[in-house]
Amino acid sequence: MPYGASSMHRADLVQVLTRNVPQRYTTHYNKKLLFYDEATNDAGDVTHLVLHFEDGSMEDADVLIGADGIRSTVRGCMYDRAHKKDCGSDVEKERCARCKGAAPTWDGVVAYRTLVDTEKLRKLNPEHEAFRSTLCFAGKGRHVVTYPVSHGSFINMVGYDTFPGREGSQYEGRWSQAVTKEEMAKVYEGWEHELHQLFDCMDTPVRWVLNVVDGLPFCVTERVALLGDSMHAMESHLGSGAGQSIESAYILGRLLAHRLMTVERIPEILRIYQSIRLPYGHTIVRRAQETGKHCEFDAPGEFDGRECPDERERLEALGKKLAGQWSWQWREKFDDQWEVAEWSLEQFLHVEAQKAQARLLTSVGGYCP
């Protein structure tokens, strides 16, 4: 990475963002959405949304953004309504070729997440490489990634354990739970001494079952849009899930705040957002999956970890391929996506103006070519 990676802890980032929310905005806490309804006029057009909460309260809204995670209530309601409207009752939503992608699936990977106290590690090994750089301990079907966070006060550590053949299945059981240090260490038994020094200094790890949302055919309907994990929950091998959420929020926020934005134009605004961010999110989901396979010697056509005469050359080639998996993060210009979004909005407004002019000319008996 040309300029190095940020070591900002996720909790610190959230604090920075929340501290800078303008005070004029109204914020409600402890509100769990159950479902939403679409209010329509006599012509059948959606005029506003009605949100129904667990505490019995209801709120009207012009637009609803479902940034409510991988178990998104908004996504579930969106696809329930769309399936009932467009697909009928002959096929269950879970078996519908179009709508079944709304359900998260297990990618066959379990991740152990924890923090390592750098002071403890420094007493054990003051020269440990984890203080200075990002490390990846790689093995067949497993790997561990570490990197400093919070100005070096801690080392973030994530260990991955892949179960072949389980990709795309439904995981039965809890998606996350605290486990013993011994459980995590046993998964990597016999690995480098430096790795087990990290295990000796880590906090209680949490085991996460990595589920994904991949291949949604749509992420907007009328005045409702999905954002973040509700739209493209992904494996964490590129560390890009939160970043993609922020990028989507940037595009959507600028579209909704555009000087020519009106309530009547919300559906088209959301369609522009979908046309740019949904396919891009799909791409990053798959890149993350590919990166995980590269780290565990399981990428098709690449070195698979078995001994061979040209092992060193194949390892070097794999390393270059792995580095290439990250290069899009500094090669691609995010502002290009906003330029496409703004151009799409201008084109829509131009066509809208032409239609309005045609209606005006027709109403006064003028000629409309």
Q: What is the mean pLDDT of the chain?
A: 90
Q: What is the pLDDT of residue 2?
A: 67
Pairing of strands 64-66, 224-226: parallel
Mean pLDDT, residues 268-297: 93
Q: What's residue 354's pLDDT?
A: 81
d(CA 257, CA 367): 36
pLDDT at 306 over 90: no
| Residue closest to 180 by CA, chosen among 199, 162, 194, 198 | 199
Residues 6+ apart with CB under 8 A from 301: none
29 CB burial (10 A radius; 0-12, 13-18, 19+) = exposed
Strands 206-212, 176-178: pairing kind = antiparallel
The pLDDT value given to residue 364: 59
Q: pLDDT for 239-259, tens place per residue?
A: 888 889 999 999 999 999 998
**Span 165-174, pLDDT tens digits:** 899 899 989 9
The whole-number pLDDT of residue 365 equals 59
Distances (CA, A) of 353 to 64, 257, 367: 27, 20, 16
Q: What is the pLDDT of residue 368?
A: 47
Interval 181-196: pLDDT, tens: 999 999 999 999 999 9
Domains and CATH numbers, the chain: 105-212 (3.30.9.30)
Percent over 70 (pLDDT), the chain? 97
In DSSP terms, 144 is beta-bridged to: 137, 159
Q: What angle do CA 3, 7, 8 make, to 5 degrees?
A: 120
Q: Which two tokens stand for residue 175?
A: 């998606």
